[in-house]
Amino acid sequence: MYATGAIASRRPNDMLRHIPALSIAKFTGLLILAAAIACFVLAPIIGEALFASIWGVEPLTYIGAALLTIGLAVLLFAFALPQALRRPSKQSQRDMQDWSSVTQQYFELFDHDLGRPLRRILGKERELRAYLRAAENGANGHIDIEEVTELLDEIEMQAPNFRLMMSNIRVLIQLEAPNASLEPQPVEVPEVVRRIIDRYNPVAAEANKSISWWAEPSEFGIVYSDSAAIEHIVTNLVDNAVRFANSQVHVWLTREDDRFSIHVWDDGEGVSSHYRPHVFDRGWTPAVARREEKTSSGLGLYIAYTLSIGYGGDLTIENDTTSGPNDHTTFVLTLPSHQPAPAGATAGEIS
């Protein structure tokens, strides 16, 4: 179930009959997002051929940005409306204000996260366009496929930012209302972590940083948890570590009888002791305390912490901020393993 507010209605049951149409809205939103990504990818390749005589600067990229915004708005509406219609009508006016306020806050917050990869894409696209134009005019002699591929790869490296941003929006909507508890499923935690590291290795390499990971024990085995929640939490932690590390990020897994932990370590300057109580606050970043312009939404750690608590675990921070080469920050995610009950056990015997 998803909810961020309520929409006034005198006959909510009648309106709920039309909810299946929201599936079309969800599908449409996904198509718009796919079209936006296609625009970003195709802009440096065919953008000039399509629009050079009409607009001056990367029109296909701006079309992609517009489509991305529209797609996110459609998805937010489609996911939030069903639960909103089920709210009591006597609260409709207040809930309508809450819906408007929450939506505005989320879009303002994600404007920062959206702008960062977009600026990166625009910069690399201009660089690629200038290179292709110079090659066409004979200034470079010929097109170096390797150099073009490198620029396209750098554009593609922004994909994890968009993926994480859209995933954060989905989880934020879920967190606005209690969800039905999910039955724990078998999860190979090392495989989940490996996928995340594979996504962020190119991003770290571009910034001259390295990521390594391991499991203790190496034969980690199966746990019973929620794979999607684990992946979302660890993705936010790794994204944060890659951004703030000086050169190294380490991720390792440990396991006890009934719990397992994922440690995300970076050699950044750490979090000052007076900031530490606010690290998991919604929308908080060090820039807020310093009254500076925020460079991120500040929602990643809030979401990670809220999910970990919701699944019966915890997320803690350990760091050393003494000046010198030993500065570091470690986030430790701990979750229950939820071992299955013995065969023949009744539902009441399963804790």
**Who wins on pLDDT, 178 or 62?**
62
**Per-residue pLDDT at 300:** 81
**Per-residue pLDDT at 20:** 60
In whole angstroms, how far apart are CA 171 and each of 13, 108, 160, 244, 339? Answer: 26, 17, 16, 24, 26
- The least confident of 35-44, 122-131, 252-261, 275-284 is 35-44
Residue 233: Cβ-neighbour burial (10 angstroms; 0-12, 13-18, 19+): buried
**Per-residue pLDDT at 297:** 60
Instruction: Give the start-to-end residue ranges of the domains of the chain.
Output: 12-175, 185-336
Handedness of CA 319, 270, 166, 3 (dihedral sign): positive
pLDDT above 90: percentage of residues in the chain: 22
pLDDT confidence band for 97 (50 / 70 / 90)? low
294-303 pLDDT, tens per residue?
455 667 888 8
Mean pLDDT of 175-195: 79
pLDDT confidence band for 188 (50 / 70 / 90)? very high
pLDDT confidence band for 264 (50 / 70 / 90)? very high
In whole angstroms, how far apart are CA 331 and each of 190, 302, 312, 317, 337? Answer: 17, 13, 17, 5, 19
Average pLDDT of the chain is 73
pLDDT confidence band for 33 (50 / 70 / 90)? confident
Mean pLDDT of 44-72: 66
**φ and ψ at 266, to 5 degrees?**
-140, 155
**Per-residue pLDDT at 309:** 92
Is the pLDDT assigned to residue 171 strictly greater than 50? Answer: yes
Domain 185-336, what architecture?
2-Layer Sandwich (3.30)
pTM for the structure as a whole: 0.59
